[in-house]
Amino acid sequence: MILSNEERFKLVKRNTSEIVSEEELMNLLKKKKNPVVYWGTAVTGKPSLAYFFPILKLSDFSKAGFKVKILLADLHGALDGTPWLILEHRYDYYKEAITQILKALGTDLKKIEFVKGSEFQLGHEYMYDVLKIASMASVHDCKKAASEVVKMGDNPMLGGLIYPIMQALDEQYLGVDIQFGGLDQRKILMFARENLPKAGYDRRVEVMNPMIQGLIGKKMSSSDPKSKIDLTDDEKTIKDKVNYSYCMEGNSDCGIMEFLKYVIMTIKSDNKEKFSVERADKFGGNVDYSNYNDIEKDFLEKKLHPMDLKNAVAKEIILLLDKVDKKKLNELAKKAYTTLN
Amino acid sequence: MILSNEERFKLVKRNTSEIVSEEELMNLLKKKKNPVVYWGTAVTGKPSLAYFFPILKLSDFSKAGFKVKILLADLHGALDGTPWLILEHRYDYYKEAITQILKALGTDLKKIEFVKGSEFQLGHEYMYDVLKIASMASVHDCKKAASEVVKMGDNPMLGGLIYPIMQALDEQYLGVDIQFGGLDQRKILMFARENLPKAGYDRRVEVMNPMIQGLIGKKMSSSDPKSKIDLTDDEKTIKDKVNYSYCMEGNSDCGIMEFLKYVIMTIKSDNKEKFSVERADKFGGNVDYSNYNDIEKDFLEKKLHPMDLKNAVAKEIILLLDKVDKKKLNELAKKAYTTLN
């Protein structure tokens, strides 16, 4: 099926919150049938269920003709606090976790190229360019760029300020036309656009997807396991976490609804499947939805109760994670998330 | 002539202002007959007459059995503001200028190994270690370390903060036992001692020589040519600058006296030569000095007038610079110090 450039544009734009700039994106699509996009993740905390969202989004790029690269940024992980001693194990975990998610989503793995950061980021030219940009980017700007992504605290390490410079150069050295990332990356992505030209390179198009809220607060927290669902959580844990999650009747501003919208219902509508809510006849009986808007409408009008919604969502999450090889991940996690003293 | 360890120690210590630590230096001398020392210079402003001091000092190390390396730090120059476009020309100038000084001092060039920074600082392992230390050294500490060496201003660039990390690693990658530098480097040298162990390396002994004052103020200024004597200055310019310099009767706290002490009289006493002051009989007639202390004593007691001192010093400087190939340096300077817009 050959898509028009407008259709390709729409696919890339779907479920995103910002594109810088849409005009450049359109020009890119007109110019290249098979542009390159990359999505990167620093190997830090444990990838959670939320990773399904950006990874699912990668298939939109793929359908729009893009070559897709996934950067497993090990060195960036270390610059954000992952201990150097277990960095390699952490990398192994990420690679396996993301592979499992891709499989669970039915993605053709041959269409995805994995790249390990340290494999090209330690090269002569790369280092030269890091120093070049570092000599022209202010401490202030680097700090600002990293502030929403890198853990800073009262006494930030210098590594966190080199982080955005390397992320900018990754666009060049991975040979991509687009970097795709979460909206939390916005400042880093804008930093890349501003600073790549200083090293003589073209700025890239930046595509951002919205952030999915945590289950019990706006942000997912690695210190509170109840705020997110882990890839290795079993059925009972998933049900408990979903049930415990913050989801008020008539208010769709919560992590459950967001995951439903961006992940579950995106998959369902692509597959022409329906989202089924089971409930006793006395509560209205079973109901099927074919798109998110209908669900949200019912939810806002209190025709769909949080309890029934939660049960249905939990069932879908269990189904998604059913394909994940949890045993393998748990095994890798032993070395990857050991506590060092 | 075989020197005792005590004699070697005394040679290394001569004309220095601080050694961290003297105990470690003594242990090093006991352990190694031929340790390695390096003196580095970032290719930034124009090397002036003051460069004779550290370069002369290198022969003390040589006599004490050291293998001597000179690091021409081109990348450090760029991190301190030398434009990347002319970095290579600036490097060429430094290499020639320092070679000329070594020749003027009669140093056996075979005993000196020149190393260019970018030749090893862009390697995989080096970059890995830069990132490693950067992940463990705070922005605050890097800034503090660089503050007296790197031009900072109100809006410092990030490169200036990477500078001390690279200087620390140079000790390891040049395989040296000692880094020798000016007292202005103190914070960077202490940073190296604190941070090299974080990357798993031994801290080195740091040897510092005092800073020689400018001719018309405490610091040499690249914006005021009268504050220092350039290697390419002709006789008349040298005489004018020395005459114009700040040197009050009875006060030895000035650049002229310091250069006399650390350079001229060090050479003279090593060569068993005398420093001659010519003056008319009515002003006391000619007088010869065989050591600096005698000169300073007479000067403090106002038995030696600044005018006579200046004339004698100017003559010695002209003699020193007479061996410098000024034409060659001026030719190289055209490209190395061109103004970019």
The DSSP element (H or E) to which A31 belongs, if any, is helix A22-31
The 3-state secondary structure of chain B reads CCCCHHHHHHHHHCCCCEEECHHHHHHHHHHCCCCEEEEEEECCCCCEHHHHHHHHHHHHHHHCCCEEEEEEEHHHHHHCCCCHHHHHHHHHHHHHHHHHHHHHCCCCHHHEEEEEHHHCCCCHHHHHHHHHHHCCCEHHHHHHHHCCCCCCCCCCECHHHHHHHHHHHHHHHCCCCEEEEEHHHHHHHHHHHHHHHHHCCCCCEEEEECCCCCCCCCCCCCCCHHHCCECCCCHHHHHHHHHHCCCCCCCCCCHHHHHHHHHHHHHHHHCCCCEEECCCHHHCCCEEECCHHHHHHHHHCCCCCHHHHHHHHHHHHHHHHHCCCHHHHHHHHHHHCCCCC
Query: Out of B78, B118, B139, whose CB is closest to A161?
Result: B139
Residue B284 contacts A, CB cutoff 8 Å? no
Q: How far is A218 from chain B (nearest CA, A)?
A: 29
The confidence band for B277, taking pLDDT boundaries of 50, 70 and 90, is very high
Predicted local distance difference test score (pLDDT) of residue A220: 66
Chain B residue numbers touching A79 (CB-CB < 8 A): 131, 134-135
Same-domain check for residues B35 and B131: yes
Residue B85 contacts A, CB cutoff 8 Å? no
Residue A139 contacts B, CB cutoff 8 Å? yes
Bridge partner residues of B67 (DSSP): B36
Q: How far is A20 from chain B (nearest CA, A)?
A: 26
Q: How far is B185 from chain A (nearest CA, A)?
A: 20
Site from B88, B144, B158, B161 to mutate, A interface, most A CB atoms within 10 angstroms: B158
Q: How far is A69 from chain B (nearest CA, A)?
A: 23
Which chain B residue's Cα is nearest to A117? B128
Indicate whether B309 belongs to any domain. Answer: yes
Site from B131, B143, B152 to mutate, A interface, most A CB atoms within 10 angstroms: B131
Predicted local distance difference test score (pLDDT) of residue A15: 97
Handedness of CA A241, A242, A247, A249 (dihedral sign): negative
Predicted local distance difference test score (pLDDT) of residue B341: 44
Residues 6 or more apart whose Cβ sits within 8 Å of residue B255: B212, B213, B214, B215, B245, B246, B247
Quote the CA–CA distance of A218 and A221 in Å, as a whole number. 9
Chain A residue numbers touching B140 (CB-CB < 8 A): 155
Q: A318 lies in which domain range?
A: 233-323
Indicate whether A20 belongs to any domain. Answer: yes
Same-domain check for residues B184 and B250: no
Are the C-beta atoms of B167 and B76 separated by less than 8 Å? yes
Same-domain check for residues B118 and B60: yes
Indicate whether B340 belongs to any domain. Answer: no
CB atoms within 10 A of CB B295: 23
Which chain B residue's Cα is nearest to A156? B138
CB atoms within 10 A of CB B202: 10
Residue A20 contacts B, CB cutoff 8 Å? no
Chain A residue numbers touching B81 (CB-CB < 8 A): 135
Same-domain check for residues B32 and B154: yes
The 3-state secondary structure of A77-126 reads HHHCCCCHHHHHHHHHHHHHHHHHHHHHCCCCHHHEEEEEHHHHHCCHHH
Same-domain check for residues B205 and B238: no
Same-domain check for residues A252 and A203: no
CB atoms within 10 A of CB B93: 23
If phi > 0 it is left, if psi is from -120 to 50 it is alpha, else beta; for residue A175 that is: left
Angstrom CA distances, A152 to A218, B135, B213, stand at: 20, 11, 41
Show the tokens assigned to B58. Answer: 């290198």
CB-CB under 8 Å, B159 with A161 = no
Predicted local distance difference test score (pLDDT) of residue A341: 45
Which chain B residue's Cα is nearest to A164? B158
Same-domain check for residues A148 and A275: no
Residue A153 contacts B, CB cutoff 8 Å? no
Same-domain check for residues B205 and B273: no
Residue A341 contacts B, CB cutoff 8 Å? no
Whether the per-residue pLDDT at B124 is higher than 50: the answer is: yes
CB-CB under 8 Å, B159 with A81 = no
Show which of residues 118-137 on chain A sit within 8 Å of chain B, judged by CB atoms.
Answer: 118, 121-128, 130-132, 134-137
For the segment B289-312, the average pLDDT, to the nearest whole number, is 96
Chain B residue numbers touching A81 (CB-CB < 8 A): 135
Indicate whether B66 belongs to any domain. Answer: yes
Chain B residue numbers touching A153 (CB-CB < 8 A): none
For residue range B164-200, list pLDDT tens digits in order. 999 999 999 999 999 999 999 999 999 999 999 999 9
CB-CB under 8 Å, B127 with A138 = no
Handedness of CA A248, A249, A253, A256 (dihedral sign): positive
Quote the CA–CA distance of A47 and A220 in Å, as a whole number. 11
Quote the CA–CA distance of A52 and A41 in Å, as a whole number. 13
Which chain B residue's Cα is nearest to A125? B122
Which chain B residue's Cα is nearest to A155? B138
Chain A residue numbers touching B137 (CB-CB < 8 A): 157-158
Same-domain check for residues B121 and B181: yes
DSSP 8-state code for residue A263: I
Residue B21, preceding peptide bond in cis (omega within 30° of 0): yes
For residue range B47-101, list pLDDT tens digits in order. 999 999 999 999 999 999 999 999 999 999 999 999 999 999 999 999 999 999 9
Which chain A residue's Cα is nearest to B165? A158
* Averaged confidence pLDDT in chain B: 95
Closest CA to A334 of A238, A232, A235, A240: A232
Chain A residue numbers touching B158 (CB-CB < 8 A): 134-135, 137-139, 142, 161-162, 165
Give me the CATH number covering residue A88.
3.40.50.620
Chain A residue numbers touching B124 (CB-CB < 8 A): 122-123
CB atoms within 10 A of CB A30: 11
Show the tokens assigned to B113. Answer: 């190994």
Three-class secondary structure of residue A205 per DSSP: strand
Which chain A residue's Cα is nearest to B124? A122
CB-CB under 8 Å, B128 with A79 = no
ipTM of the complex: 0.94
Indicate whether A53 belongs to any domain. Answer: yes
Quote the CA–CA distance of A225 and A34 in Å, as a whole number. 40
Closest CA to B182 of B207, B155, B213, B201: B207
Predicted local distance difference test score (pLDDT) of residue A2: 86
Predicted local distance difference test score (pLDDT) of residue A331: 95
Query: Out of B79, B124, B138, whose CB is closest to A135?
Result: B79
Which chain B residue's Cα is nearest to A198? B84
Give me the CATH number covering residue A317.
1.10.240.10
For residue range B211-227, list pLDDT tens digits in order. 999 888 767 666 677 88
Same-domain check for residues A175 and A43: yes
For residue range B227-246, list pLDDT tens digits in order. 899 999 999 999 999 999 99
Quote the CA–CA distance of B49 and B70 in Å, as a whole number. 17
CB-CB under 8 Å, A128 with B124 = no
Same-domain check for residues A20 and A70: yes
User: Max alpha carbon distance in chain A (Å)?
Assistant: 70
Q: What is the pLDDT along chain A (341 residues), one digit of tens a residue?
A: 789 999 999 999 999 999 999 999 999 999 999 999 999 999 999 999 999 999 999 999 999 999 999 999 999 999 999 999 999 999 999 999 999 999 999 998 998 999 999 999 999 999 999 999 999 999 999 999 999 999 988 899 999 999 999 999 999 999 999 999 999 999 999 999 999 999 999 999 999 999 999 888 767 666 677 889 999 999 999 999 999 999 999 999 999 999 999 999 999 999 999 999 999 999 889 999 999 999 999 999 999 999 999 999 999 999 999 999 999 999 999 999 986 54
Residues A290/A291/A294/A298 CA torsion (nearest 10 deg)? 80
Indicate whether A288 belongs to any domain. Answer: yes
DSSP per residue, A240-257:
HHHHHS---TT---SHHH
Show which of residues 23-82 on chain B sit within 8 Å of chain A, judged by CB atoms.
Answer: 75, 78-79, 81
Q: How far is B135 from chain A (nearest CA, A)?
A: 4
| Count of domains for chain B | 2
Indicate whether A69 belongs to any domain. Answer: yes
CB-CB under 8 Å, A134 with B79 = yes
Which chain A residue's Cα is nearest to B131? A159
Indicate whether A90 belongs to any domain. Answer: yes
Which chain B residue's Cα is nearest to A157? B138
Quote the CA–CA distance of A52 and A39 in Å, as a whole number. 13
Query: Out of B121, B131, B159, whose CB is closest to A79?
Result: B131
Are the C-beta atoms of A208 and A183 separated by less than 8 Å? yes
The DSSP element (H or E) to which A233 belongs, if any, is none
Quote the CA–CA distance of B306 and B299 in Å, as a whole number. 8
Residues 6 or more apart whose Cβ sits within 8 Å of residue B319: none
Same-domain check for residues B79 and B147: yes
Three-class secondary structure of residue A136 per DSSP: coil
